[in-house]
Amino acid sequence: MSNESSLSTEASDLRAATLRLARRIRQQRSVTGMTDGQFAVLVNLHRHGPHTLSALADRDGVTAPSMNRTVNALEEAGYVTRVADADDRRRVRIAITDAGHDVVDDTVTRRDTWLAQVLSSLDAGERRTLHEAAEIILREVHR
């Protein structure tokens, strides 16, 4: 097998494995009806505080109308609220509620617990290999 063919096969295997792992991790959530996009908005607000609708849209790479639909659904469920900007009362910011923080915290805990259970079935060498692979992947993604 040529080096180029071997790299292509390795890339394909790694892509498939990481996508399957990501899918399984995403399944571990505290609110089953919440979309990945809605959860991503909650995480963003949880980590970075209130944002304008346009800032949220820019951050997620979606249109303002699309983000408005996402925020409306989250607001209806009680996970976010719209508040007037302290500096410019005409401007509205989207803020996460206590219920929204709870969803993020619970989902992160569920995901970490699931992954820890998977890792607990591996031997120390396999866990070390995965840890090293994670470091390499993160290094390359941030390059």
Asked if the model's pLDDT at residue 1 lies above 70, the reply is no
Give the pTM.
0.84
What is the rounded CA–CA span in Å between residue 6 and residue 126?
Answer: 23
CB-CB contact of 93 with 85 (8 Å): yes
What is the rounded CA–CA span in Å between residue 12 and residue 130?
Answer: 18
- For 128, counting Cβ atoms within 10 Å of its Cβ (0-12 exposed, 13-18 middle, 19+ buried), the class is exposed
The residue extents of the domains of the chain are 3-141
Q: Which residues contact 131 (CB under 8 A, 6 or more apart)?
A: none
pLDDT of residue 119: 96
Summarised one tens digit per residue, pLDDT across range 20-61 is: 999 999 999 989 889 999 999 999 999 999 999 999 999 999
For the residues 11-17, what does the mean pLDDT come to?
95
What is the rounded CA–CA span in Å between residue 90 and residue 24?
Answer: 42
Asked if the model's pLDDT at residue 15 lies above 80, the reply is yes
pLDDT of residue 121: 97
As given in the structure block, the two tokens for residue 7 are 């790299």
CATH class of 3-141: mainly alpha
Cβ neighbours around 97 below 10 Å, total: 17
What is the rounded CA–CA span in Å between residue 23 and residue 115?
Answer: 12
